[in-house]
């Protein structure tokens, strides 16, 4: 749903730097209150300070900006979701390059199937944004940022509770985003528009549901399943986005595009599933 709500804000002409900063700051404050009420230990060990800064740099700073501008330039939440859903593919490559994990022929075939499905969906579009290619490149950069975010989360998960990790992720992230908020987010600021319910409702949904709740659950998932296994679930993002977009009337997909989504998701699962079953 974050892709749908972000697309709504972009359609209203709200600057990316404005609603991303408000979203991240609100999520950090909400989680701070929750951690204080829950009496969680929120102290950061000195040796982990750099990891938290890297975590916040990967996501929300790099990821959110690249993802949101990717949605803006491709002019389609579904295309954006499809590209973000390739994260498991790149996570597999990262495992091979940095952690010496094995990739069998089924995994490689799954990657090819995934890319074929993405190509089917993209090339069958009746129209694309003028800056579509730039949007795709930004979304791919967001994918790499997500892999870095998941790796940092995993490294911190043994010492800190998931809500504490995500709290600092967003509080530090809001500090990193502050310069862009002050320079670009408040340009032509009109309180009657920027603070109206039509604008603030999707921002609240993004802050509470997509950031506070979803990211905390995601941190729990990474802690218990690891980076590779948890990334499999990202393959469901484009399905949910496309279905919700179609229900809300924001996306009108052809039969070939629906087939492309199915093929891409099948490939993503193939790229990860065989190794998971073997370990099970």
In this predicted structure, the answer to whether residue 127 has a pLDDT above a threshold of 60 is: no
| Model pLDDT for residues 86-119, shown as the tens digit of each residue | 777 777 666 666 656 566 677 677 777 776 776 6
Sorted by where each begins, the domain ranges of the chain are 2-104+128-225
- For residue 12, report the phi and psi dihedrals to the nearest 5 degrees: -85, -5
Q: What is the dihedral of CA 232, 96, 68, 259, to 10 degrees?
A: -50
> pLDDT-based confidence at 177, cuts 50/70/90?
very high
pLDDT, tens digit (0-9, with 9 covering 90-100), for 16-47: 899 999 999 999 999 999 999 999 999 999 99
Round to whole Å and give the CA distance between 181 and 264.
Answer: 36
Does the pLDDT value for residue 169 go beyond 90? yes
Which CA distances in Å does 168 have to 44, 142, 156, 224, 265? 9, 20, 11, 20, 32
Whether the model pTM is above 0.85 = no
């Amino acid at each position: 749903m974050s892709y749908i709500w972000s697309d709504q804000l972009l359609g209203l002409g709200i600057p990316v730097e404005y609603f991303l900063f408000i979203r991240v700051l609100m999520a950090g404050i909400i989680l701070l209150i929750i951690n204080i009420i829950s009496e969680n230990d929120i102290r950061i060990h000195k040796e982990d300070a750099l990891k938290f800064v890297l975590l916040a740099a990967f996501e929300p700073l790099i990821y959110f900006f690249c993802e949101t501008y990717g949605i803006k330039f491709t002019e389609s939440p579904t295309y954006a979701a499809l590209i973000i859903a390739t994260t498991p593919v790149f996570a597999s490559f990262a495992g091979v390059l940095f952690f010496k994990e094995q990739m069998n022929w089924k995994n490689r075939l799954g990657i090819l199937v995934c890319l074929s499905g993405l190509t089917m969906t993209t090339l069958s579009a009746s129209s694309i944004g003028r800056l579509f290619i730039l949007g795709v490149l930004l979304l791919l950069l967001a994918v790499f940022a997500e892999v870095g975010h998941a790796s940092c989360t995993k490294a911190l998960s043994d010492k800190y509770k998931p809500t504490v990790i995500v709290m600092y992720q967003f509080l530090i992230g809001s500090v990193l985003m502050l310069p862009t908020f002050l320079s670009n987010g408040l340009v032509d600021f009109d309180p009657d528009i920027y603070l109206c319910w039509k604008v603030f409702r999707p921002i609240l949904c993004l802050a509470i549901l997509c950031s506070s709740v979803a990211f905390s659950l995601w941190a729990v998932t990474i802690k218990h399943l690891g980076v590779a296994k948890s990334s499999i679930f990202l393959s469901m993002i484009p399905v949910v986005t496309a279905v919700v977009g179609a229900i809300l009337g924001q996306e009108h997909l052809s039969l070939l595009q629906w087939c492309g989504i199915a093929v891409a998701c099948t490939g993503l699962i193939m790229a990860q599933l065989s190794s998971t079953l073997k370990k099970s």
